[in-house]
Structure 1
């Protein structure tokens, strides 16, 4: 009987020991989750979404930005912490994956010292709205052309920009949209809209037609020379290149891209600047805009801010873009993917939807 009792006691001791060990491990694991919730989320995300592993040093590279996002969330400022942290981490991952180094270009950044805010403008991504906002923050007089305001709103020197880019007290904003939607928007506004003169139509139409319509350069007394055939006296287009013709030129051009269709990562030095927040224009909410206002130190009730994405020719959304892609081959879409693959990967933009648009009848 005593042997049976001793055996039972041994069994109970073993069970108790296992239970205590399990309990201690549970506490340790829980405390780890509490301390590093975002980092664990990001590791899990990248294990499923990326084809390469994320090193611990890479996770630490944006720890400060994540801490600032957590602080904002705790203050009650409306923000999707995981979504914001994921975008920042994805930018860091892609920079490391391709070993990218992107130069700082002073004129691409607007800065306000009083509001401790910095913003990189990208044409056709609400750049006019945000430039106007920075002009208002500096009490600049109203103007019809905010493109001319850039030089008065930027930093004084490249050295100052370098210092500010790493200053954790400066809120740094980046705004993006799907590169294909932006490309169509740029074509519609800067090439296809012949109700006005644009520098892009004046500069690039000749280069486009040299590839796609060389017959236009054959002059005679009846039709005149190329300029007379294609342009009006005030430099507006008589003959507009199609979107397909525009892409034929763009995909083979070896010259530096225009700011209306250059890649985001190089234009805004995303691998050299520690951005605090990335706004995706495709599906933004007013809560996100209000969050940006709060970081700019602005009262949302006293600021006039136009609806983002609206242009004179109408909003270029997925449906509009898909119609322009309907006349493209899938091979052309793949070439566009190759040209903008870093931007597409950085911000988790899908190209498959646009592949389905190619050669689709409307």
Structure 2
């Protein structure tokens, strides 16, 4: 009898153990499933949060872009308005067909750039070549001409077609004169240097000689029409052509971004940092302080006053510094 009770007890103990193990197994499975569900929930939450953050970031960038584009539009509207107002006051009118050979085109983006020497045009040639899917090396090598030799009726049609985006870039006029001297006369032989040497009888032209020459030969058509110091109105006819963007080299970092976004250019195309030149007042002063007689600097300013007025440049500080020294 006792033996039977012991056997029964052993069987019950084994049953309880099996039940406990089974219960433990179910608990482990339940915990594993719960962990996986929790993990999925966390991952989903993280994904939702990331997407939410990206959405917020994109909206923030979009808002900033919208604000930037609006601010730049106001800047360009002010420049264009001032230009039109002063063109009318000064009675300036040119035949828009006389833009010489300064226009470059992007057929793909229906964009026209009227290039004025010594305002950073090399970089804009690079940009327009990139817009057309070309390397700038081909442009420099003469294997591709950005202006396509478009002349006559077709040229005039594009210039006056509102569907074509048009832009030009200007620079502080007295600084541009310094830039022309430094790049074309001071360091090396060039056609311009040879041309001036023949007219002045001097092989080495100081900056003072150069300024005197420009002032004294102002009425000489061969002198005043040179691309590197001719007035802006003689190069790109800003009083007769409706430029959507009038860039200033002094604000070219922002102006270039505005242009490229406005025409829908790819994001990988941008202004090279080497060409983001700012006005260097000290450099300009160092050159003009060498000019003798000193009044020639003020006469040069008077010659360029039209460009200052049309494009909203204030009286240059170098004149005040020179006046104090007299």
Residue 100 (structure 1) shift: 1.3
Task: Say which of 110, 126, 138 aligns to 2:132.
Answer: 138
Partner Cα distance (1:144, 1:258) in 2: 26
Normalising by the residue count of structure 1, what TM-score does the alignment of the two structures yield? 0.63
Give 2:244's match in structure 1, choosing from 276, 280, 304.
Answer: 276
Distance 1:352 1:141, change over 3 A: closer
**Residues 105-141 of structure 1, C-alpha deviation per residue, up to 9 Å, x if partnerless?**
2411111121011101111111110012112222334
Which is higher, the Rg of structure 1 or of structure 2? Answer: 2
Q: Structure 1 residues 140, 102: CA separation in 2 closer, same or farther (over 3 Å shift)?
A: same
Unmatched segments (≥5 aa) in structure 1 = 1-72, 214-229, 231-239
Is this contact kept in 2: 1:105–1:158, CA < 8 A? Answer: no
User: Which residue, out of 286, 306, 314, partners 2:272?
Assistant: 306
Note closer, same or farther for the CA distance 1:88–1:187 as it changes in structure 2 (3 Å cut). same
Aligned with residue 319 of structure 1, among 282, 288, 294: 282
Scaled by the length of structure 2, the TM-score of the pair is: 0.70
- Partner Cα distance (1:138, 1:299) in 2: 11
Which residue of structure 1 lines up, in the alignment, with residue 44 of structure 2?
Answer: none
Provide the C-alpha distance between the structure 2 equivalents of 1:323 and 1:293, rounded to a whole number of angstroms. 35
- How far the C-alpha of 1:324 sits from its partner, in A, is 0.8
Contact 1:78-1:288 at 8 Å conserved across structures: no
Q: How does 1:111-130 map to 2 (within 5 A)?
A: 111-130=105-124
Distance 1:277 1:155, change over 3 A: farther
Residue 88 (structure 1) aligns with? 80
Task: Report the Cα distance in structure 1 between the residues aligned to 2:141 and 2:239, rounded to whole angstroms.
Answer: 25
1:352 Cα deviation from its structure 2 partner: 4.4
More divergent stretch after superposition (346-355 vs 149-158): 149-158
Aligned residue number for residue 356 of structure 1: 320
Give 1:341's aligned residue. 305
How far apart are the structure 2 equivalents of 1:77 and 1:349? 23
Residue 123 of structure 1 contacts residue 259 of structure 1 at CA under 8 Å; is this kept in 2? yes
Give the CA RMSD over aligned residues. 2.7
Q: Distance in 2 between matches of 1:326 and 1:255?
A: 28
SS in 1 for 2:69: coil
2:162 matched to 1:199?
no
Change (3 A) 1:200 1:150: farther
Q: Are the equivalent residues in 1 in contact too, given 2:138–2:144 (CA < 8 A)?
A: no
CA–CA separation in structure 2 for the residues paired with 1:144 and 1:204: 31
The alignment of Structure 1 onto Structure 2 pairs a total of residues equal to 254
Asked whether 1:250 is paired with 2:214, we answer yes
In the alignment, is the contact (CA less than 8 A) between 2:252 and 2:276 conserved in 1?
A: no
Following TM superposition, by how much is the alpha carbon of 1:93 offset from its aligned partner in structure 2, in angstroms?
Answer: 1.4
Deviations 1:195-232 (A, max 9, x none): xx321112212323x3xx6xxxxxxxxxxxxxxxx4xx
Unaligned runs of 5+ in 2: 1-64
Please state which structure has a larger fraction of its residues in helix.
2
Hey, what's the Cα distance between the residues in 1 that align with 2:186 and 2:323? 21
